Amino acid sequence: MLTDITIGQFFPGASALHRMDPRAKLLLLLVLMAAIFVFDTPGGYAALTGLAVALAVSSGVPLSMYLRSLRPLWWILAFTFLIHLCATPGEVFFHIWIFDMTKEGLTRGFFLCLRLALLILFSSLLTFTTSPLSLTDGMERLLRPLKVVGVPAHELAMMMTIALRFVPTLIEETDTIMKAQQSRGADFSTGNALKRVRHLIPILVPLFISSFRRADELATAMEARCYRGGEGRTRMKELHVGGVDYAAAGATALLLAAMGAMKAAGF
Partner 1 sequence: MPIELKGVTYTYMKGTPFERTALNDVSLTIADGSLTAIAGHTGSGKSTLVQHLNGILHPTKGEALVDGVSLDGKGKENLLARRKVGMVFQYPEQQLFEETVAADIAFGPKNLELPEEEINRRVRSAMDFVQLDYETYKDVSPFRLSGGQMRRVAIAGVLALEPSYLVLDEPTAGLDPRAREELLRRIAELHRKKKLTIIFVSHNMEDIARMAERVVFMHDGRILVDAPPSEAFFAEAEMREAGLAAPPTVALLSRLRAAGLPVEADAFTADEAVKRIAKALQKKKGTLC
Partner 2 sequence: MAFIEIEDLCFAYPSERDERRMALDHVNLSVEEGEFIAVLGTNGSGKSTLAKHLNAILLPTSGVCRVAGMDTRDGAHLWDVRQTVGMVFQNPDNQIIAAIVEDDVAFGPENLGVPSDEIRRCVNEALTAVGMTAFQGFAPHLLSGGQKQRVAIAGTLAMRTKCLVLDEPTAMLDPVGRKEVLDTVRRLHRESGITVIYITHFMEEAAAAQRVVVMEGGKVVEDGSPKEIFCRVDAMRKRGLDVPLAAEIAWRLRKQGIRLPEDIVTDEELAVALCR
Asked if 80 interacts with partner 2 (CB under 8 A), we say no
Nearest in space to 160 (alpha carbons), one of 19, 26, 18: 26
* In 130-242, alpha helices (H): 132-143, 153-183, 193-199, 201-224
Q: Determine which helix (DSSP H) or strand (DSSP E) holds 94, and give its type and residue range.
A: strand 92-96
| CB atoms near residue 236 (< 10 Å) | 4
Asked if 240 interacts with partner 2 (CB under 8 A), we say no
Q: 208 by DSSP, 3-state: which?
A: helix
Nearest in space to 6 (alpha carbons), one of 60, 59, 75, 71: 71
User: Please, which of residues 47-66 interact with partner 1 by CB under 8 A?
Assistant: 62, 64-65
Binding mask 185-224 for partner 2 (x = CB under 8 A): ----------------------------xx--xx-xxxxx
| CB atoms near residue 190 (< 10 Å) | 8
Binding partner at 3 among partner 2, partner 1, none, C-beta below 5 to 8 Å by kind: partner 1
Q: Which of 2, 78, 201, 215 binds partner 1 (CB under 8 A)?
A: 201
Task: Select 88 or 181, whichever has its Cβ closest to partner 1.
Answer: 181
Query: Cβ 123 to partner 1, closest distance in Å?
Result: 19
* In 40-102, alpha helices (H): 42-59, 63-70, 74-87
Q: Which of 43, 60, 202, 230 binds partner 1 (CB under 8 A)?
A: 202
Binding mask 131-160 for partner 2 (x = CB under 8 A): xxx---------------------------
Which residues have CB under 8 Å from 226's CB, separation 6+?
A: none
Query: Cβ 49 to partner 1, closest distance in Å?
Result: 25
Q: Which residues bind partner 1 (CB under 8 A)?
A: 3-4, 11, 62, 64-65, 68, 173, 176-177, 179-187, 201-202, 205-206, 209-210
